[in-house]
Structure 1
Amino acid sequence: MRLFLLPISTRRSLLYCEKLHEKAASERTYLDKITIKANETWAAWEKDEKAIGNWKKKVTFYGNQALKRIPYEEWGLKTIPALTAKRKQAIVEGREKYQVIFPGLYLHQEKVPDILRKLATERQAQHRSKLIWSVVAMPFTAPFMLIPVIPNLPFFYCVYRAYSHWKALTGSQHLEFLFKNNVLPTPNPSSELDEAYTAGLMYPTRVISRAAPIPTRQQAEEVARVVEQQTNDGTEDVMVLQRWNGKLIAERFKLPDMEVEIERAVEQVENSIKAKEELLEEKAELEKATAKPGQTAKDSLPEEILEHIKEADKEIHEKAQEIAQESKPKPEEKKEQA
């Protein structure tokens, strides 16, 4: 099984699991059949222009906007298949092989296990809780069935969110099971991903990137070094993946479903970084507007904290004087030197 760990920024990464194969019609479970039917219905609604008031297209439009708000971490965990008893046995016996593919220049290999372990465990409680609440909410949406023509959308939304949280939960449990059994995915730094990431940072558009030559290893190392400098020793979160670059990466690995996952993740991370920057700017402007002339941030601290600071400064000053006094040559030492 191939896992892709794709850094969106220097602090956030998308996990994507490659589908092993499409199940044959005879092998599909009821859940598989329902999922396929729901996807086909949704796609048909997106193109239907004959419905009264064009309600189907409106539902899919606003529905897609709501889907964009689902965290990309949840979407990533949903790509990992549920852990069946058969697969558990194969993992324990060492017959199931896992590898994680990542751009080695933009994500240090020693960080990969910690990132995977964090993705496997940090959201389990949240998915479990929201799964329960989605199920609890289903009976309360039943009265909407009485509305003619339009299907019970609130009920179907609760069903979908319950299914989504269940998929993410089982995906995270699958990943956690690997760590509990010391079956760590084999790290596989990809030069192809290094080239794709570098092209995305060097060129402004997908069209230019397609026409331009593939970046050399030296260029890739130089761009990665510049990105590392922009983080200010890890204190700043810097974007390393462009939205338009998702299609090129998906094409390179022949994984068309990956494109949507990358574009969604990039958009969410960009909005998060932008919101944080705007918040810091507003805070700085507020402090600047409320500060008195000549007043510093230190002056606005409570009196008791200022007293502690003064005492600490006094101790440091006295200690510095003692050290300076001890370092001076004594009179007898001066005579010897003479």
Structure 2
Amino acid sequence: MSTPSKDVVVKAARSLRIIALPLTRRPISEVDGHPLVYYHFQMSPKEESAAKPTLLNRMTDKAGSIWAGFGKAEEGSWKLKTFRYGERLMDRIEFEELALKGLDPSLGPKLTIPKNTTSTVMYDADGVKIPLVYPPSYTTTPLLQLQSLIVKRLPRHRQGMWTWILVSPLTAPVALIPIIPNLPFFFCVWRSWHHWRALKASQYLEALLERGSIVSEPSEELDRIYSSHTPKDPSSAYSPPRKTSSESASKPETKNDDDVTDGILLSRDAVPSITSKFDMPPAAAADIYRALAQTSMRIGGYTKS
């Protein structure tokens, strides 16, 4: 990879912090290459409030306020019913997508491309380092896990975006029905926008990883929160994927802490401590709760299969 030339346009660096919350100690199936991890992407409040909102951000905020108004509608109204159904749909969206959608590259450290090159690789103009905070006792490869997530999510969100774009014209006949708004069309547009946001965030993180701008930062405070809020429900435990015959032959069987059956690493009681310690917004708590619930469902689905 070539180094940035003098023609790189230097822009002011903006701080970004990534907080990794491991949910399982190892993959829950043979398909997944790494344990489940929830990522919270955090901008400093000062820079986030000082950022000039784009047209897309203003439209998003407007849509969000309209949707919140649906939740305050009268009991029994179609608006309230739509809001409750939409919230149930939100619970079904993979927590990885919701986390990536929450990262706005326009608010993070700026990436630029050298003028005298046709390369599509983006460079960090200011050499800023982005901390990836993680509990060292519960994961030893935070950067590798993040990279694995990006590799997995990029094609999924690209395909999802185009799928919902192509499906949206099929909802046109619903617009002919009077009074009732074309909710299926708006849902298709919303899902394609959701995937687009997650795709852009994945591409942004991929560029940061390629430049080495993301650095792991162990947190003893996060370690203590994990150790104080370990789930005690044995029903959440699951057996790790079995090793293949070749793996068993190459690696002798040993008994250590990593060989025991384990489940979800974090209980719901830990969420307030985490959000308070790292100054997360109130919405982050709901996202972490959703990630924990989905992890429990995935573990249950794996053990049943």
Quickly name the TM-score band, shorter chain normalised.
0.7 to 0.9
With CA pairs under 8 Å and 6+ residues apart, which has the higher RCO, 1 or 2?
Answer: 2
2:206 alignment counterpart: 176
Q: Is the 8 A contact 1:246 1:258 kept in 2?
A: no
Q: Distance in 2 between matches of 1:31 and 1:126?
A: 23
In the alignment, is residue 44 of structure 1 matched against residue 36 of structure 2?
no
One of 136, 142, 161 as aligned partner of 2:166: 136
CA positional deviation for 1:203: 8.0
CA contact (8 A) 1:17 1:80 kept: yes
Letter in 1 for 2:167: A
Structure 2 residue aligned with 1:99, among 128, 131, 135? 131
Query: Any gaps of 5 or more consecutive residues in structure 2?
Result: 1-15, 26-34, 113-121, 234-255
Give the superposition deviation at 1:237. Answer: 5.1
1:276 maps to which residue? 302
> Partner residue of 1:19?
43
Q: What are the superposed Cα offsets for residues 133-153 of structure 1, whole Å, 9 maximum, x if unpaired?
A: 111122221221222333211
Partner of 1:6: 21
Aligned CA distance change for structure 1 residues 237 and 128 (closer, same or farther; 3 Å) = farther
Q: Which residue of 1 aligns with 2:97?
A: 74
SS class of match (1:201): coil
Deviation at 1:122, TM superposition (A): 1.3
Paired residues in the alignment total 247
For 2:137 and 2:268, the matched residues in 1 are separated by: 19
Counterparts of 1:86 and 1:196, CA distance in 2: 29
Q: What is the CA deviation profile of residues 200-243 of structure 1, one whole-angstrom value per residue up to 9, with x for unaligned ones?
A: 12789xxxxxxxxxxxxxxxxxxxxxxx73x526xx55211112
TM-score between both structures, scaled by the size of structure 1: 0.67
* Distance 1:146-1:244 versus aligned 2 partners, 3 A rule: farther
From 245, 249, 259, the equivalent of 1:232 is 259
Q: Give the SS at the match of 1:101.
A: strand
1:56 aligns with: 79
Kindly indicate whether residue 282 of structure 2 is the aligned counterpart of residue 253 of structure 1: no
TM-score norm. by structure 2 comes to 0.74
Does residue 191 (structure 1) correspond to residue 220 (structure 2)? The answer is: yes
Q: Are the aligned partners of 1:246 and 1:260 in contact in 2 as well (CA < 8 Å)?
A: no
Q: Determine which structure has more spread, i.e. the larger CA radius of gyration.
A: 1
User: Of the candidates 142, 145, 148, which is equivalent to residue 178 of structure 2?
Assistant: 148
Question: Displacement, 1:24?
Answer: 5.3
State the partner residue of 1:314: none
Partner AA of 1:64 in structure 2: E
1:216-231 superposed matches below 5 A: 229=257, 231=258
> Distance in 2 between the 1:141 and 1:160 partners?
13
In structure 2, the residue matched to 1:286 is: none
**Aligned-pair distance for 1:156?**
0.9
Amino acid at match of 1:119: L
Contact preservation (8 Å) 2:165, 2:188: yes
Q: Deviations over 1:23-63 (max 9, x none)?
A: 459x222211111111111111111116xx42111111111
Unaligned runs of 5+ in 1: 205-227, 280-338
CA offset digits 1:89-113 (Å, max 9, x no partner): 39533443201001111112xx112
In the alignment, is the contact (CA less than 8 A) between 1:82 and 1:167 conserved in 2? no
Q: Which residue of 2 aligns with 1:317?
A: none
Higher helix fraction: Structure 1 or Structure 2? 1
Equivalence map 1:294-309=2 (5 Å): none
